[in-house]
Amino acid sequence: MNREFPTQADVVIVGSGPAGAAYARILSEQSPDANVVMFEVGPLLADPPGIHVKNLPGDARARAQRLSEGPAPRDGASTDTMKGYADASQRLVRPGTFLLPDGYRMPGEDGLPGAAMSSNVGGMGAHWTGACPRPGGKERVDFIDDLDELLSEGERLLGVDDRVFEGAPYSAQVRERLAELLDSERPANRHVAPMPLAVRRQQDGGLVWSGSDVVFGEPTRSNPRFTLIPEALVARVRHEHGQVTGVIVRDQRDCTEHTVDAPVVVVAADALRTPQILWASNVRPHALGRWLNDQPQSVYAVRLRDVESHADVDHDSTEIVPESGVNWVPYTDDDPFHGQVMQLDASPVKLASDDAPKPGTIVGLGWFCAKDLQESDRVEFDDAQLDGYGMPAMRIHYRLTDDDHSMIQRSRQAMMRAAAALGEPLDDRDPLTFAPGASLHYQGTVRMGQVDDGTSVCGPTSEVWGVAGLFVAGNGVIPTAIACNPTLTSVALAVHGARSIAANITSTKG
């Protein structure tokens, strides 16, 4: 049977990831009388909408991952969230994501062979690691005066906690060893610390990971004027004379098209599909798709030295368990990379059969670099060829500069120095640097700017230059070369945009 689509709304939100969910939450709290409709191209995975797949049991998790994998889901039922951690494959495939089938590398360029997306209610927020560090130094968007307050609000919406593993014995030892090595070289506010995580611990000790369901919260779920419609592709944003007028939506179930009138549209697809929708809508400012930013990522693993086994843990598991934890080596301007040190209860590399480690003692290190931002790094769109959703096909132009290669080497050296302070290498292999795109932290393609000078797509509140009522959201809005995990920053910027919409609705109706 055909579904009923609304014909009008006060606000349309395109995409249900953490940034889109933040718009829905703030509008539900601050403009409860506004009719808000959210369209998501992917399916509903489970109840509540936007739940993280780690919170689902094995069979349900595998099903949710397959449903998230776009137009052509893979066969198989892997729920291994560490799958590929030490895989040197150029085209690393993670459960719950799908790769670009082509166009990911142009001749003579590095490209983004690891570029991947998810299509599901909750977006990548149903599959992410939950790491929510705050940006520092040049990572920060310096023209947002109240950024710290916005980051705090983002932490509230995401349910961030930096103490969830504070009782983990190995985690504390890891942090102490890293602090002894590094803290004297760092500003006081960038010392080694527990990683802030979007996760909460239940009374029984179990972990509940935040997805968009946590960001939506009860204020959104109980809002009678909020509607979420899954399996609905927003093909175009409608606009006339510099003003948004609504969207054209294609029902993915029966391929019918529907027109929805709205004076405000928020496109929060992701850093690749948000510019795609604008391009298809003939909203094409010079900076659209440009300044594409990935984070070069290297990983390594060691066995902790001089530690005792604290519990009988199944070390063949890939879950983070109470013996484990996640620690953080923050970015600084002098060391423009970000370290994530995670204790793994299964080795990310194959161990000899007679060399099984004490449970919880294999430590994985991951270092992310800030990119040397270039306007020429971009995603373009081919109107003559369509992707699996019938949208203009993507073409990635992306190069690592000499400065990038130098920074990758510096970050690998910094990671090895940290590793040596923690323990012994598992074998004689060097650190692995993933192929571009593997970070899944793409940014910059609809970047924010202080003024409309051709180097940005939107202003400080995320409203697109020259198209009143059109907002963009997600990691693509971030204009700086950040090395830290970007979700908290993108949610904070979404809060800023949502507040401006709510204030305008209040003043208009007042």
- Hey, which residues are catalytic here? 441
DSSP per residue over 165-179, as a string?
TTT-HHHHHHHHHHH
Contact 487, 18 (CB under 8 A): yes
Collect all residues with Cβ–Cβ distance below 8 Å to 275 and sequence separation of at least 6: 288, 289, 379, 381, 445, 446, 457, 476
Number of helices (H), then strands (E), belonging to the chain: the values are: 8, 22
Looking up tokens 């204790």, which residue turns up?
343
State both tokens at 378. 């971009």
Rounded Cα distance, 103 and 244, in Å: 31
Q: In which region does residue 466 sit, left (phi positive, over 0), alpha (psi from -120 to 50) or beta (all else)?
A: left
Contact 45, 121 (CB under 8 A): yes
State both tokens at 183. 């803290």
Q: Hey, how many other C-beta atoms are within 10 angstroms of the C-beta on 413?
A: 12
Cα angle at 443 between 487 and 39, to 5 degrees? 65
**Angle between helix 147-158 and 18-30 (nearest 10):** 100
State both tokens at 108. 């003579």
